[in-house]
A and B are shown apart, each in its own frame.
Chain A
């Protein structure tokens, strides 16, 4: 089984060197069989140079910074307001920091770490300010967690849409910093403090109100990501990080925390990150990200061939661990348990795999996640039934369906 599933090319025609040189003019991602018979996804830029025999030429010397292979071009997909992680190009659960999704409201500020200060004040015993080096002196804490924008859903009536475009506003890193509970002890929170305002130092001076309870439970100030200083797009030099909660609450470039006895009702938590639900009501402070999964292979624009196919993807829940992922290869008539890749972490992307032999007839494949609270990822229609037609796009986590046509072309099946 192993040899059939791991290294055997299943779904492509080997590309010749001539075809690579003469054919793809843009940086499209194509499936390529390497000289050793391994199948890889490769992006072929116009200026791609196929090297001469590498055994006959000295390569570059050791360098200060590593680079990706010239054949690998995973890229985010930017719009005016966000940039999406190429989920279909990743092989595991950690998102390389430069491919982590971006969403901000006034651009990326440039902040000198020497001048950075975090103020904590309001309903506290001792109003304090902390420099970046102060923050780094506290006992450090690391945790692998996903981050997801609550507006992480897109669709396309033609079905020509990738996992990146549908759900690329989620990424995962190992976050390192200081726990809020540690910092809060330094300032001494007053008994009537139930909320705090988190304020960024971007051009929007973005703010969110956060319950003190969440801060004490597992909130942290992160200054590092995947072992290195956090990237500017992710909040350099320090950001709030609230595991499992909608991304907007994890305020980046954090400059101020103010304790209060009530929420501040900022623009983000009133006019933006709230969602219309039934009976004309608007749901507010919907922080938790519900369980979700998405198949990342095979998906549009891949073309598959008859035979063994390992269906792969990621599943996650803001409420805890993923307990199972089920996969259907017959348009939802039957479901089978996918294998979960260890480790399965709390509030983290979990990789799943399901081995399947495609007989060449047209079908639909889909995945659904179940978390430890017993929540099962719903269908599009279940969500519409629960929220009404005017549901908006926040916290929208429907099962994603992929149509495999008779010719092997994979398309997203649009939700209706």
Chain B
């Protein structure tokens, strides 16, 4: 176990030093002198075990190869990073939707029985008195999320079974059904991140700060 050799704090990498700045101050008793950093996180004391006396590496685990990571790395970001090649049209999506989605979400994405996907006229603005149903049109802030979620979790009874082309097509169909893109639009890795969702402007960061205020 020679990799358990303890290092002095002066020998630790910049990273470990950063960890200590962020976490050391939260230790109940050992490192209270570093309390200047605690305001970065939380006023509440935290019981922690991670110690500056521990080695910079224990050497457990194995390097992960790019090939191994690629098999799992399916997420898609708002800037489009992670989107695969391929494309889909509204028309193609309509056909896939009828076969694989309509039973749960209704013929037009409104009827259910499960989550409503499509906004109806009186229901378009989030935060209004009449809006109790969250839909893609009135509540989803990023179009990329639609691709990501359909690909990882849908259809409910056969998650992960859709091809990338089918996911693109369904994404196009649902964006069109919510009147966000035109019927002739084709959706791909280039066009999807450019779609601006109606609800995006409504999102605000959590403004609760602790303390007595009720928000």
Q: Smallest CB–CB gap between B81 and chain A, Å?
A: 9
Interface size on A, residues (CB 8 A): 83
- From A10-18, A54-62, A260-268, A400-408, the one touching the partner chain is A260-268
**With a CB–CB cut-off of 8 A, which chain B residues contact A141?**
48-50
Complex: A105 Cα to B46 Cα, angstroms: 30
The reply to whether B159 and A119 form a contact with Cβ atoms under 8 Å apart is no
**With a CB–CB cut-off of 8 A, which chain B residues contact A217?**
22-23, 26, 41-42, 46
Partner of A262, one of B51, B58, B77, B136: B77
Interface residues in B91-109 (C-beta closer than 8 Å to A): none
Complex: A60 Cα to B51 Cα, angstroms: 48
**With a CB–CB cut-off of 8 A, which chain B residues contact A120?**
64
Interface of A is mostly: mixed
Give B76's nearest chain A residue, CB to CB.
A264
Interface residues in B69-128 (C-beta closer than 8 Å to A): 69, 72-79, 125-128
Interface residues in B1-48 (C-beta closer than 8 Å to A): 13, 15-16, 18-19, 22-23, 26, 40-48
Q: Smallest CB–CB gap between B17 and chain A, Å?
A: 11
Size band of the interface chain B makes with A = 35 or more
The reply to whether B15 and A203 form a contact with Cβ atoms under 8 Å apart is no
Give B139's nearest chain A residue, CB to CB.
A271
Complex: A221 Cα to B61 Cα, angstroms: 15
A290 CB–B CB distance under 8 Å: yes
Partner of B127, one of A130, A134, A279, A372: A279
The reply to whether B44 and A179 form a contact with Cβ atoms under 8 Å apart is no
**Given the interface contacts A266-B145, A373-B43, A390-B128, does A184 sit within 8 Å of B19 by beta carbon?**
yes
Partner of B64, one of A119, A181, A286, A320: A119
B196 CB–A CB distance under 8 Å: no
A128 CB–B CB distance under 8 Å: yes
Q: Smallest CB–CB gap between A285 and chain B, Å?
A: 5
Complex: A328 Cα to B213 Cα, angstroms: 22
Partner of B44, one of A119, A373, A382: A373
The reply to whether B205 and A284 form a contact with Cβ atoms under 8 Å apart is yes
**With a CB–CB cut-off of 8 A, which chain A residues contact B75?**
197, 199, 207, 258, 264, 266
The reply to whether B78 and A265 form a contact with Cβ atoms under 8 Å apart is yes
**With a CB–CB cut-off of 8 A, which chain B residues contact A127?**
63-64, 66, 69
List of 7 A-B pairs having minimum Cβ-Cβ separation, nearest first = A280-B127, A320-B44, A267-B149, A373-B210, A205-B152, A286-B206, A130-B61
A–B Cβ pairs within 8 angstroms, 23 of them: A106-B153, A119-B72, A138-B58, A139-B49, A181-B19, A181-B23, A184-B19, A185-B15, A188-B13, A199-B72, A213-B22, A260-B77, A265-B77, A265-B144, A266-B148, A267-B153, A270-B139, A277-B204, A280-B202, A282-B141, A320-B43, A373-B212, A382-B214
Contact residues of B with A, CB < 8 Å? 13, 15-16, 18-19, 22-23, 26, 40-51, 54, 56-58, 60-64, 66, 68-69, 72-79, 125-129, 131-132, 134, 136, 139-142, 144-145, 148-149, 152-153, 156, 159-160, 199, 202-208, 210-215
